[in-house]
Amino acid sequence: MALSATDTHRAIDAVWRIESARLIAGLARMVRDVGLAEDFAQEALVAALERWPESGVPDKPGAWLMATAKRRAIDHFRREKVLARKQEEIGHEIEAWREAAVDELDAAIDDSVGDDLLRLVFTACHPILSTEARVALTLRLIGGLTTEEIASAYLVPEAIVAQRIVRAKRTLADANVPFEVPRGDELASRLSSVLEVIYLVFNEGYSATAGGDWVRPALCEEALRLGRILAELAPEEAEVHGLVALMEIQASRLRARVGPSGEPVLLLDQDRVRWDHLLIRRGFTALERARRLGGAPGPYALQAAIAACHARARTGPETDWWRIASLYDGLARLTPSPVVELNRAVAVSMSQGPAAGLELVDALTAEPSLRSYYLLPAVRGDLLAKLDRNGEAREEFERAASLTRNERERELLLGRAAAATTGA
């Protein structure tokens, strides 16, 4: 049965989401330019939008897109060769390289993608790019999201996202960043950059920094998809599995993190029946893979172990807070930061009492990097309320509400301030 034009366009959209990263990765290996590779891929997409509504979706749509993009690339290089012959100032070395590129393109249509996708991930997340550029380029090239979708997810103007992507591709081209998987000593730092991007995407979905939604599940799902792809491409890297484990377990709580009207539901108040136990099991499996690879656990594996403690507890009171505090001790030694210390203080307050936790939090109030971090007064307000110091608690909750840019979070904090005022 022939598909309607609407159904065909939906099919094209689905195919693009599945195939675009591999398509761009394969082309980038051939042309050695991520921006050019995306241009050829986009031309193939335009061709599909023009032809498939009439001819139907081919049996192997990915191969069709690759063949079309390859032809566009070959035509491009042939035009470049003709131009080179007409311009004497173009050196023979460049012409020879272009001829070699055309030959490689001609032979590559049936090649396996192999490590191409991994090369694309490392290129899109190259440390030469700003954090915002790495996130935008990764979501665009590997995630297959449109500029509009990325802008909507991060609540920024579409023009800004488009500018970030264009500048990122230009920066990579100008710096002649090699399209390769780093080796040796460089691998660890480059992999850290890749994991950071995926982690940032997930966190923005799990706890949105701004806007009217507390969670954005679509971003969490995209980060999880990227993490799972990376785990398949780099199965011997323990921290990749550690990050996947962390995201699987955290994502298991998404349905329980919001109430019927989208209001935030804090961890200890969540209905654990609503947690996704399939994701929890997947997280445990990924964490075990990380452990089996040996070596001391990295920061993502440690955070995953903390998330696992919550996942194993059938109720809030059954949570092993002593174990969580110990894991935060290890995380603080590995990656010392005021935010880690704040989280450790929460665990200490749950295991040793609010007074012990408050002592640690008070030591952080002079930390410059936490001066505008809304969770510091939020945590302090919670501990003060537990100690029946309600007036001080109200002030801290109000201060936290003034610092957050998330509307749902602000409502929650103001509600807690009101409850502290009445002593509820």
Work out the burial of residue 344: count CB atoms within 10 Å of its CB; fewer than 13 is exposed, 13-18 middle, 19 or more buried.
Answer: buried
**Can you say whether residue 367 is alpha, beta or left, with left for phi > 0 and alpha for psi between -120 and 50 degrees?**
beta
What is the H or E stretch that residue 384 is in?
helix 375-386
Q: What is the pLDDT along the chain (424 residues), one digit of tens a residue?
A: 455 667 777 887 888 877 888 888 888 888 888 888 888 888 888 888 888 888 888 888 888 888 888 888 887 777 766 555 555 444 444 455 445 544 444 444 334 444 788 899 999 999 999 999 999 999 998 888 889 989 888 888 999 999 999 999 999 999 999 888 888 888 888 999 999 999 999 999 999 888 889 999 989 999 999 999 999 989 999 999 999 999 999 999 999 999 999 999 999 999 999 999 999 999 999 999 999 998 899 999 999 999 999 999 999 999 999 999 999 999 999 999 999 999 999 999 999 999 999 999 999 999 999 999 999 999 999 999 999 999 999 999 999 999 999 999 999 999 999 999 876 5
13 is written with which tokens? 């959209």
278 is written with which tokens? 């399939």
Report long-range pairs for 365-371 (Cβ below 8 Å, ≥24 apart). 367/338, 369/338, 370/338, 370/339, 370/342
Q: Is residue 356 part of a domain?
A: no
Q: Is residue 21 part of a domain?
A: yes
Cα distance between residue 61 and residue 69, in whole Å: 12
Helices assigned H by DSSP within 175-317: 185-206, 217-233, 238-251, 277-292, 299-312
Indicate the number of domains in the chain: 1
This prediction has a pTM of: 0.81
User: Residue 246 corresponds to which amino acid?
Assistant: L
Cβ atoms of 312 and 254 closer than 8 Å: no
Q: Is residue 136 part of a domain?
A: no
Domain boundaries, position 89:
5-113
Cα distance between residue 229 and residue 227, in whole Å: 5
Q: Is residue 361 part of a domain?
A: no
Q: Is residue 64 part of a domain?
A: yes
Q: Is residue 379 part of a domain?
A: no
Q: Maximum Cα–Cα distance for the chain, whole Å?
A: 84
Q: Is residue 218 part of a domain?
A: no
Q: Is residue 200 part of a domain?
A: no
Nearest Cα neighbor of 117 from 71, 59, 179 is: 179
